[in-house]
Copies of this chain bind each other. A is one copy, B any other.
Amino acid sequence: MPIIPDVEIMTIGDELLYGQVIDTNSAFMGQELGKLGLRVRQITSVSDRADEIVATLDQARQRAQVVLMTGGLGPTKDDLTKHVLARYFGAELVMHQPTLEHVEGFFKRFNRPMLEVNRLQAQVPANCEVLFNAVGTAPGMWFEDRGTVFVSMPGVPHEMKYLMSNEVLPRLQQYFQTPAIEHVVVQTVGLGESFLAQQIEGWEAALPPNVKLAYLPYLGGVRLRLTGHDDGQPNLRARMEALLPALRSLLGEHIFAIGEIKLEEAVGQLLQARGLTVGTAESCTGGLLAHRLTSIPGSSRYYQGSVIAYANDIKVRELGVKPETLAAHGAVSEATVAEMAEGLRRQLGVDVALATSGIAGPDGGTPEKPVGTVCIAYADAKRTVTRQISFNRGRQLNLEYTTTMALNLLRLEVVK
């Protein structure tokens, strides 16, 4: 019977304690550990002081069988995790030749001068196993000490992610022989968490005991994650997938995908499958809608271009919005966004267009159109559809919510 380890996450750095950097690393690590079925016991953020790092290590090993650390491995002098770990595990720092060659190659490839501090990044405590960091210069380090596994990774998020995915998680699975676990993620959009929970209450109550449901809300919708634990019966995944048709009948078009896929990716797949091109005409969203569409690799196969028309005269000149429409209804109106979407289709020659216009805030609201009032439009060869949204949680979230609603409008309309 394998032991399922408790894991403790330790993020190191004064910048975390004083909120100069938001600790997204531990969120990523927690997500990935949860997917393996490991329990995350605690997350601790500590200072760059050696004595406090050591005190936390001492306590963490009493609570957990695995301690994952990030931070304090960069080249500057306040980065001292490596020295603390060498002393803590009673080892000398030694030059690790493959890492040194990797670091040298790194600097050569990017034509940057290599400094002594960079050379020292290739030093590691003699008793660790080096985890190769293909995307950066600071290696990961794996220690086993009196029954506890300690792993140190750099704090740069994409380097930590690389090491977690390619080195740490596979080693943990192998080391602890973690039992099988399956995840099925159901992506929904357009329903709030409590309303959604009410809709599927009966379905949730009837889930088999080895399948757990988690609600993972995001701005505009909820991800539902089913976690299936090995019950000794075959075909765990297939049995979990057999639960989905009943869920679909409850949630209908609010489900936009099964699996780890974003709304913009699902929209891209729909467009590509139909051989349609898309473009956007944006006022308030200021390019965020185009950015979300083009954040998907390969989006050039369906995304053609956009006109961002913040200024009204650009709406008129570049998108053919009628000055009379602006005068009669204002820039933030369903009439205006309809003309923006239609104009964009004509102007860029795309099959499908989305348009946005609204008051993102914090300024610009009026009694009739308060901050958070947004109009969105979808246009294709056959018709134009518009919606008005009222949502005010601050500029950044208003823009994000608007683009989610616009992408969802496209998703629903393009299949009609």
Contact = CB atoms under 8 A, between A and B. Distances in A.
B43 A18 contact: no
A208 B4 CA distance: 51
Contacts of A44: 42-45
A117 B361 contact: no
Contact of A23 (B27, B33, B215, B225): B27
A374 interface: no
B286 A294 contact: yes
Contacts of A399: 295
A186 B41 CA distance: 38
A31 B18 contact: yes
A398 to B, nearest CB: 11
Contacts of A295: 286, 395-396, 399
Chain A residues touching B, majority SS? mixed
A290 B286 contact: yes
Most B CB contacts (10 A, CB to CB) among A112, A286, A362 go to A286
Contact of A115 (B30, B117, B158, B194): B194
Interface string A20-39: 11111011111111100000
Interface string A209-222: 00000111100000
Interface stretch (A170-178, A299-307, A408-416): A299-307
A396 to B, nearest CB: 7
B15 A78 contact: no
Contact of A397 (B42, B118, B158): B158
A282 B59 CA distance: 51
A148 interface: no
Interface string A276-287: 000010100111
A84 interface: no
Given A194-B118, A295-B395, A308 B310 contact: no
Given A194-B117, A286-B291, A314-B304, A20 B396 contact: no
Contact of A314 (B289, B305, B308): B305
20 contacts: A16-B30, A17-B40, A19-B31, A19-B34, A20-B31, A22-B23, A26-B45, A42-B52, A44-B44, A44-B45, A76-B215, A112-B192, A115-B198, A286-B303, A300-B310, A304-B310, A304-B311, A305-B309, A305-B311, A318-B348
Which 6 residue pairs are nearest across A and B when measured between Cβ atoms?
Answer: A286-B294, A287-B290, A287-B287, A19-B27, A19-B30, A19-B31
